[in-house]
Amino acid sequence: MDLSGKTIIVTGATGGIGKALVKKLAADKPHLILIARSASKLKALTKTLQGVTLKGDTYVSDLTDSAARRRLAKTLVRKYPTVDILINTAGIGVYKPIGAVTEKDWNTSFALNVATPYFLTQALIPSLKNSSLSLVLNLGSGAGVIPMRGRSVYCSTKFALRGATLSLAEEYNDQKPHFCLITLGSTLTSFGPMTLAEKQRDCDSGKAYFTPEWVAKKLVEIIKDDHRETEYTLYPGDYGFGEWKKP
């Protein structure tokens, strides 16, 4: 797929992976539509993008709020009758033992990690169908296939996202859009309870982490591949990034 001029929506655009992905995509000069919760971070990100047309500029939205998500979806459908690619990278990681989990933890996690990609996709299906070759790319996790202690909430959301994405891939087999799930291992960002500095120390000691830049490069390769698979499993230990161990 030639990305030049393509309309690409990215949620979680200012996150560790989202930001690296946006910068990588920008090199192909698509029409980027960037969504994030922080206006200041979005502004800072757009300043780093040279020569890129931001079709519709940027959108600030708290995607954990269902009403805000619905308003955003209506705006996107109205303004963009054709969408070529929807990339759902927005997410939250709640890592707690069951005794410490609150209903807010549970509801917020499912709202952002599952409901947002699902219902944004639902709303944008007509726009995606108007594209000659459209794609929905969901950023999953190894936590969607491997149970992990102390991460029951996060694993539950990623198992759900994996099930939803693969089911939609079956539902839209031989139709537009194509659905693709990235089952991704640990990445060197501030996502989750550990700081970036703490992860970097672990990385220096041999624990396996992808860099966001490597992930972004791999994602763009997958996006451009017209014969892409439905699911890609990427674990750091499989790609020479050190020894990966289940948390």
C-alpha dihedral (209, 184, 70, 62), degrees to nearest 10: -10
Beta bridge partners of 203: none
Beta-ladder partners of 187:
210
Q: How confident is the model at residue 187, as a pLDDT?
A: 94
Gap between the Cα atoms of 34 and 13, Å rounded: 6
Predicted confidence (pLDDT) at residue 167 exceeds the cutoff of 80:
yes
Mean pLDDT of the chain: 94
pTM, rounded to two decimals: 0.94
Q: Which domains does the chain have, with CATH numbers?
A: 7-239 (3.40.50.720)
pLDDT at 107 over 70: yes
Q: How far apart are CA 15 and CA 89, in angstroms?
A: 8
Can you tell me the distance from the alpha carbon of 160 to that of 61, in angstroms, rounded to the nearest whole number?
A: 23
Lowest model confidence (mean pLDDT) among 48-57, 150-159, 221-230: 48-57
